[in-house]
Amino acid sequence: MFLETKNESGIRRGWIEVICGSMFSGKTEELIRRLKRARIARQKVEIFKPSVDVRYDEENVVSHDANIISSTPVESSTQILLLANDVDVVGIDEAQFFDTELPSVCNQLANSGIRVIVAGLDMDFQGKPFGPIPALLATAEYVTKVHAICIRCGNLAQYSHRITGGDKLVELGEKQSYEPLCRTCFQAVKKNQPPPKY
């Protein structure tokens, strides 16, 4: 359903897809899957990530399951407009780390006939809407919310609980720094209560 980018009259149709959820929910895995399918369909694909995200690799987009796709690290979202030339599909990973211009950039790309696929955290470690994601959710044609598994009770998790402390909004880390929690366990942790027993 997502591969067609031209209508019957040959006019390119663009749109925005957002893949969001907590850490360890498979956002990047789904982004890579869609981009690889676009390449199989012989579409020209360009992938971008924020240069600040160097957890797995300085250039490539890498999922927690070690799936890799080549990408271009950029300092700001406006650089994407300069580098996304003659493409059918633009992929953007870790969108929450971009500046507030990202929704405008994505809309400009979509308006020019490009399919834009964005993946990112929808909430920060405090459970609050994160960066440019809320505005992207409001303007996207397609939204996919993926869930992790709560590390404490096994239910679906949508929160990324920081276990290392600190109040800094952006703190890069993996399983040693964050754990996925469901709403009930996240609220219990915030109140310094033990998680409920199931």
Phi, psi of 33, deg, nearest 5 = -60, -45
Contact by Cβ (8 Å): 151, 182: no
Q: Is 94 a catalytic residue?
A: yes
SS3 assignment, position 92: strand
The active-site residue out of 17, 30, 46, 94 is: 94
Q: How far apart are CA 197 and CA 174, in angstroms?
A: 26
Amino acid letter at 95?
A: A
- For residue 81, what are its two tokens? 């407009």
- For residue 74, what are its two tokens? 């950029």
Q: Which residues are annotated as catalytic?
A: 94
